[in-house]
A = this chain, B = another copy of it.
Amino acid sequence: METIKERILREGRSGEGGILKVDGIMSHQVDTNFIMDVAKEFVQRFQDCEIDKVITIEASGIPPALMVAHLLGVPMIYAKKKQPDTMSNALTVEVFSYTRNEPSIVSLSRDYLHKGDKVLFIDDFLANGNAAGGIMYLVEQAGAELVGMGFIIEKAFQPGGDYLRGKGIRVESLAKIDALDEYETKSI
């Protein structure tokens, strides 16, 4: 059976500005079998943790986070990338998006994240770690406990992984990319 790493290597395309495009399996079109394989792998890696909720950020984190939550039988929460105008009891944080090259607000309601909740963060990519850092802050503000963070793809040549691990966070990445250049070469 083709592994998760092999599939990413086969499907991935490098784009301008160090972007890895995996639009055919997860970032635009979603291969549901691939995402289910990803979710099973996350569940196995975090099987020693008690997990009350899975958290992610809209939109590309939703497919893997939803499947992980479904397998665990717990709710999934997705933080919003906007001002929380209609959200009750909102917690917010500003994060800088390198993809969009601008700061954006990430918001989450206290109604769904409570003191003591054990939370697993799942996202598609780990690059600079800004979004993940924002979530760490929101989880802390809610008094909840971050048990770990799982990423489908970690760009190991960007500082997010070191930053999160340096903070003592347990980080699991299913595929680590060491380099990405304009010539479609990459190693995992």
Contact = CB atoms under 8 A, between A and B. Distances in A.
| A interface SS class | mixed
Contact of A86 (B16, B73, B77, B86): B16
B32 A66 contact: yes
A35 B66 contact: yes
Contacts of A76: 29-30, 32, 63
Interface string A50-83: 0000000011001100110110011111101000
Copies in the complex: 2
A177 to B, nearest CB: 17
A87 B30 contact: no
B30 A77 contact: yes
Contact of A36 (B31, B59, B70): B70
A97 to B, nearest CB: 12
Interface in A92-111: 109, 111
A182 interface: no
Interface of A: 15-16, 19, 21, 23-24, 28-33, 35-36, 58-59, 62-63, 66-67, 69-70, 73-78, 80, 86-88, 109, 111-112
27 contacts: A16-B86, A19-B86, A21-B86, A23-B109, A28-B77, A28-B78, A28-B80, A28-B87, A28-B109, A28-B112, A29-B75, A29-B76, A29-B77, A29-B109, A29-B111, A30-B78, A31-B75, A32-B74, A32-B75, A33-B73, A35-B66, A36-B70, A58-B59, A59-B59, A59-B62, A62-B63, A66-B66
